[in-house]
Amino acid sequence: MIIVEHIYTFFLSMTPIGELRASIPVAITIYNIHWLEALIVSIVGNMIPVIAILFLLEHLSKLGPNNWFSRFVNYFLRRSSRYKRYVNTYGIIGLIILVAIPLPGTGGWTGAFVAFLLSMPKITAIISILIGVTIAGIITTLVSMGIIHLVI
């Protein structure tokens, strides 16, 4: 049964800053959603903007420079370009690792922009990012449940 908390979790996982690194802890600790539901809802929500980015970025990057959305896209392209060499060196595995590391500045959004910068085939990028998002989701879920502890 879908309830309001699931919808909040879904939309929180779509955000470029929080992604599922924010939605899973919120879903488990604040909304008291079962960990598996939180994980699935967050992965699905996180992948929607990734797929949209991969299919629309080519067109969006051609918008005029004075458009606010174009500035937003170009900001993410510049920010993501620092990971380009890393992913280019290690290929698909590099993209999976980039997305799987549950730290700020990494994740599905960044992975999608890097895949675009490298002209990676869309299906390859989507599968790689999905694997990375799933790994990040599992790590974040285990941390949120107190099963593993990260020292930062």
Would you list the DSSP string of 29-61?
IIS---HHHHHHHHHHHHHHHHHHHHHHHHHHT
Average pLDDT over residues 67-89: 71
Integer Cα distance of 102 and 100 in angstroms: 6
Over its C-alpha atoms, the chain yields an Rg (Å, rounded) of 15
Mean pLDDT in residue range 95-118: 88
Closest CA to 59 of 116, 125, 111: 116
pLDDT exceeds 80 at position 145: yes
- Contact indicator for 69, 63 with CB cutoff of 8 Å: yes
Percent of the chain at pLDDT > 90 equals 55
Q: Is 16 helix (H, G, I), strand (E, B) or coil?
A: coil
Q: Share the mean pLDDT of the chain.
A: 87
The number of domains in the chain is 1
On whether residue 91 sits in a domain, the answer given is yes
Residue 21 lies in a domain: yes
The model carries a pTM of 0.85
Which residues constitute the domain of residue 8? 4-144
How would residue 116 be classed by pLDDT, with cut points 50, 70 and 90? confident
- Does the residue 75 lie in any domain? yes
